[in-house]
Structure 1
Amino acid sequence: MLWCMDNKSKLRKINSNMEFSLRVQEFVELVRCDSRVEAVKHARKYFQAFERTQLKEICKCMALLAYQPNTDTQPYKGLFSERRWKDLVLNFRNENYRIFQLSTQSLLSVTIQAGLSALKTPQCYSSNCKNLHCPVCQEDFNQIAKKLPYSHCVQSRLICRITGLPLNEHNLPMMLPNGQIFGQLAVPEITKEDGGVICPITNTMFSHPKIEKVFVM
């Protein structure tokens, strides 16, 4: 309550109900302790200021005087619930953020999500197309980016999954017999000493395969 008193004018400007929620909880705790006379005195002292905006809630609170804390009757069971303390904690945090114009998310979290969204593509969630050099394809970041939107690319760029280098005239796209495509610079890395080639995606072994160039229109 001291925090509410110190920030009363600010809370009024943002139409906060934090003070009322705390007064209601004080009333509930008095009834829970069977201090019903004190609860009535409390209501007379503090609820009067909220009659214009919270009259319906005040009526529900006053009805608690006729019930025991173990009642199964709603909405009075909800008012006696211990969960209300957790709701008050969350309400306090949100109102504190609003007063001082703070974001509910840390700047680090916002920055990471912005970066992941800029890199996220449908291939990041395909088991056969993940890139070891892509942050979104990493297991931890992959889960964080799951609900983020995909990146908006005006012009597509083709990247080799082996070297992480762009596919262009200096690194032509090459296709293995199984249809997997890699950059020309990656061919030596997947070629064995005997001339065979092993596909790093499917682990398929080819003996002296015909690797064809791919032309992208």
Structure 2
Amino acid sequence: MKARDLGPALEWASAQSARLLSDGSSLELKLHQLHFVEILQKGDKNEAIKHARTYLAPFASVHKVEIQKLMACLLWAGRLEQSPYAELLSPSHWENMIEEVSQQFCSLMGQSHASPLSVVISAGVQGLPTLLKMASVMAAKGQEWQAMKQLPVPVDLGRELQFHSIFVCPVLREQGNDENPPMLMPCGHVLSKQSIVKLSKSNTRAFKCPYCPLEATVTQCKQLHF
């Protein structure tokens, strides 16, 4: 894309179309829009119409306004820079698309778009105030928190620092799988299915959430799918 070649990006987006849509991404449409403008700027109106019918029409029901704007551009084929839609030729469109393709690719791979060092620093900046406060409280009580297997307080990180769907049950300390999936309780906390069965005495009674005062029954818990 940095060499103004959209071919590989369009091919990849087409292959990942279903996954992109499930993520709420309109990347495939944006790439086809960019290609449409490139064709139109060369003055090839017929080729632009053919491209629109093939690749833009499927998105028309959801992105009607964007498609209408592109169709109006047909009146300015070869001289789009003189039209009310000249901003479509801005180099920033290419720059933004290069960045978005990179971000979406990393997202589908379950990886961070940022460098590992940047991620570690960002997580440290967000979590450090909580850790410092906890260290001072534990020191005042004469306890050594560094020897603990689990922190006594949660360290909340933003969604931008969450990259995968691996779930480890906070009660049994075991990773979730198909036989022992994560279950969402009515209070919003998540435990493994085995933990819920044990807490409810084999599904026979209501039980209290280990992390808040609310009670729930097994039938109220819903399986989570990542």
Aligned identity (percent) is: 28
Cα–Cα, structure 1 residues 72 and 152, in superposed 2: closer, same or farther, change >3 Å? farther
**CA 1:110/1:62 → structure 2, altered by over 3 Å: closer, same or farther?**
same
Equivalent residue letter for 2:80: P
The answer on 1:5 being equivalent to 2:17 is no
Deviations 1:157-196 (A, max 9, x none): 9xxxxxxxxxxxxxxxxxxxxxxxxxxxxxxxxxxxxxxx
Q: Which of 88, 93, 113 matches 2:97?
A: 88
User: 1 CA distance for matches of 2:18 and 2:68?
Assistant: 26
8 A contact 1:117–1:150 mirrored in 2: no
Residue deviations 1:87-129 (CA, integer Å, cap 9, x gap): 1101101211221222233332232344566778xxxxxxxxx
* CA-to-aligned-CA distance 1:28-54 (integer Å, 9 cap, x gap): 011110111211111112221001111
Q: RMSD between aligned alpha carbons?
A: 2.7
Tell me which residue corresponds to 1:70.
Answer: 81
| 2:63 is equivalent to residue 54 of structure 1 | yes
Matched to 2:133, the amino acid is: H
Per-residue displacement from partner, 1:138-169 (whole Å, max 9, x unpaired)? xxxxxxxxxxx995366389xxxxxxxxxxxx
Q: Distance in 2 between matches of 1:108 and 1:72?
A: 45
**CA distance in 1: counterparts of 2:127 and 2:23, whole angstroms:** 35
Q: Which residue number corresponds to residue 152 of structure 1?
A: 133
User: Structure 1 length as normaliser, TM-score?
Assistant: 0.51
Partner residue of 2:34 out of 1, 25, 37:
25
SS in 2 for 1:52: coil
Q: Which amino acid aligns with 1:9?
A: A
Q: Which secondary structure state, in structure 2, belongs to the residue aligned with residue 111 of structure 1?
A: helix
User: Which residue in 1 is equivalent to 2:154?
Assistant: none
Q: Show the counterpart of 1:174.
A: none
Query: Does residue 120 of structure 2 align to residue 111 of structure 1?
Result: yes
Cα distance in 1 for residues equivalent to 2:52 and 2:94: 19
Deviation >6 Å, runs of 4+: 117-120
> 1-side partners of 2:136 and 2:39: how far apart?
66
**Cα deviation, residue 84, structure 1:** 0.9
Q: Is the 8 Å Cα contact of residues 36 and 48 (structure 2) preserved in structure 1?
A: yes
- Amino acid corresponding to residue 35 of structure 1 in structure 2: D
Gaps of 5+ in 2: 1-9, 140-226
Cα gap change, 1:116 to 1:38, in 2 (>3 Å):
closer
The Cα of 1:17 is off from its aligned counterpart by 0.9
**Are 1:118 and 1:152, in contact at CA under 8 Å, matched by a contact in 2?**
no
Number of the residue aligned with 1:99: 108
What amino acid is the match of 1:69?
L
Distance 1:23 1:115, change over 3 A: closer
Is the radius of gyration larger for structure 1 or structure 2?
1
Structure 1 residues 45 and 113: CA distance shift in structure 2, 3 A: closer
How many residues align? The count is 127
Tell me if the contact between 1:36 and 1:65 (Cα under 8 Å) persists in the aligned partners: yes
